[in-house]
């Protein structure tokens, strides 16, 4: 295993080129004499870079230490000289990600300086959001909580920058805009669409500015009374109650801990159900995930159909679609997490179907956006739409925002500001 002097303190990023010999003179090994090579001074940083890319692209549970070592061109034992194992490696990846975000907001002189600087940095470190949104949940509980507090501090510092520029905003609105701004920057982590560098920066900067300077408190509730909910008959409710409770509990645990980290016993304990009770409704753990994903897809399709029913301009249709998605996300917050991070755990048929459904949904948004903005190409439309949906996704899953009674209206305003932002110049 690793040598004590080679292990970095968890949560600290080593200085590049830090010496490991502590000034001691040692005789070279026979292997070193034969090869004439020395350990690169930046090997630790290269290992973390490789782990970051692999965790981002394939997921923490799908990567072994040997995969990271191979990506760097070293053996697994050589990697263990620097890290205690995969959990320690993930800790360094997450900490470095958050440290970079902290440094960016701390270095900004004001809000506009932050927008100008971080836009370029975000494109350079694309994929960062996947690490702290999807993979940080695999950290040990204590480290995960520390990372969560760090992220809250980052949002708080960003809210202060927004407040300095816009003192008329309430603290709650500053916080909402800060999280939404982080979501806009993080949105490019979840897709591979790109543009020429200068234009990409222009698009992202315009979207970030649209959020930072969004006017809040202007949107009213959607016209018309809320539709009356149809309650199932008394006997039907009794028949499905236990199944629904098990499914709801499973989806929450899958989202919070990751599918592979949750056992059927965990679900049974949390739902107050025995193993046989669960198996009566869901023969396997995978069946629970499939049921949740299928139900979510049906709910989103129903909301989309209602949004498209009424006639209207492309802008009116897009804004109805935005409202429908906000309602869907608020009702299915944990499902949003599964769509982001757990589709790979589905059987092949269901996985293909779910991904196809997502592609078609994004294409629908993209076509409507291009009807609204004919000067925008498909790539720009995809970047804008992803920013809109990511803001909604993250807001409904952020505890400090979810309790706002006006969240639907505020998200509609922020989403509208993103959709109405002028396209970048070509």
The model's pLDDT over 217-229, given as tens digits with 9 standing for 90+, comes to 986 544 333 433 4
Q: Predicted confidence band at 237 (pLDDT cuts at 50, 70, 90)?
A: very low
CA angle 368–388–326, rounded 5-degree value = 90
At residue 39, the pLDDT reads 61
Q: What is the pTM of this model?
A: 0.81
Mean pLDDT, all residues of the chain:
84
Whether 159 and 171 have beta carbons less than 8 Å apart is answered as yes
At residue 295, the pLDDT reads 86
10 Å Cβ neighbour count for 400? 14
Cα gap 181→387, rounded to integer Å: 10
Sign for the CA dihedral angle at 131, 137, 142, 146 comes to: positive
Residue-level length of the chain = 426
At residue 38, the pLDDT reads 57
For each of the domains in the chain, give its residue range(s) and CATH number, in order of start. Answer: 98-212 (1.10.357.10), 252-420 (1.10.357.10)
Q: Is the pLDDT of residue 255 over 60?
A: yes
Q: Predicted confidence band at 32 (pLDDT cuts at 50, 70, 90)?
A: very low
Sign for the CA dihedral angle at 334, 158, 168, 323 comes to: negative
Going by C-alpha positions, the residue among 70, 204, 190 that lies closest to residue 131 is 190
- With a CB cutoff of 8 Å and minimum separation 6, the contacts of 203 are 195, 380, 383, 384, 423, 424
Whether 421 and 405 have beta carbons less than 8 Å apart is answered as no
pLDDT tens digits, one per residue of 355-411: 999 999 999 999 999 999 999 999 999 999 999 999 999 999 887 787 789 999 999
Going by C-alpha positions, the residue among 176, 73, 336 that lies closest to residue 166 is 176
Going by C-alpha positions, the residue among 176, 102, 172 that lies closest to residue 132 is 102
94-128 burial, b at 16+ Cβ within 10 Å, e below that, comes to bbbbbeebeebbeebeebeebbeebbeebbebbbb
């Amino acid at each position: 295993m690793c040598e004590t002097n080679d292990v970095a303190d968890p949560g600290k990023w080593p200085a590049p080129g830090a010496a490991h010999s502590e000034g001691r003179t040692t005789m070279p090994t026979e292997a070193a004499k034969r090869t004439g090579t020395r350990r690169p001074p930046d090997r630790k940083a290269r290992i973390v870079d490789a782990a970051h890319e692999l965790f981002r692209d394939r997921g923490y549970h799908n990567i072994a230490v040997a995969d990271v070592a191979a990506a760097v061109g070293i053996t697994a034992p050589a990697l263990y000289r620097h890290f205690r194992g995969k959990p320690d490696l993930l800790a360094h990846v997450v900490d470095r990600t958050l440290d970079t975000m902290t440094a960016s907001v701390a270095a900004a002189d004001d809000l506009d300086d932050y927008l100008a600087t971080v836009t370029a940095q975000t494109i350079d470190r694309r994929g960062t959001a996947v690490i702290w949104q999807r993979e940080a949940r695999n950290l040990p509980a204590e480290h995960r909580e520390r990372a969560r507090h760090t992220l809250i501090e980052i949002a708080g510092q960003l809210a202060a920058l927004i407040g300095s520029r816009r003192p008329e905003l309430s603290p709650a609105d500053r916080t909402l805009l800060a999280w939404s701004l982080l979501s806009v920057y993080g949105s490019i982590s979840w897709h591979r669409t790109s543009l020429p560098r200068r234009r990409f920066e222009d698009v992202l900067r315009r979207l970030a500015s649209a959020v930072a300077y969004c006017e809040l408190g202007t949107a009213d509730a959607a016209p018309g009374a809320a539709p009356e909910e149809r309650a199932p008959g008394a006997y039907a409710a009794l028949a499905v109650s236990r199944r629904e409770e098990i499914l709801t509990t499973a989806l929450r645990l899958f989202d919070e801990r990751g599918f592979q980290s949750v056992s059927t016993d965990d679900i049974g304990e949390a739902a107050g159900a025995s193993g046989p009770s669960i198996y009566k409704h869901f023969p396997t753990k995978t069946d629970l995930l499939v049921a949740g994903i299928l139900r979510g897809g049906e709910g989103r399709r129903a909301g989309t159909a209602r949004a498209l029913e009424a006639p209207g301009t492309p802008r009116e249709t897009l804004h109805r679609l935005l409202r429908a998605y906000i309602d869907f996300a608020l009702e299915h917050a944990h499902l949003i997490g599964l769509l982001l991070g757990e589709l790979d755990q589905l059987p092949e048929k269901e996985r293909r179907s779910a991904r196809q459904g997502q592609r078609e949904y994004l294409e629908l948004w993209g076509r409507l956006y291009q009807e609204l903005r004919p000067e925008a190409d498909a790539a720009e439309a995809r970047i804008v739409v992803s920013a809109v949906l990511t803001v909604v996704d993250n807001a409904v899953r952020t505890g400090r925002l979810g309790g706002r009674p006006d969240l639907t209206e505020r998200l509609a305003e922020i989403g509208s500001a993103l959709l109405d932002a002028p396209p970048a110049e070509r």
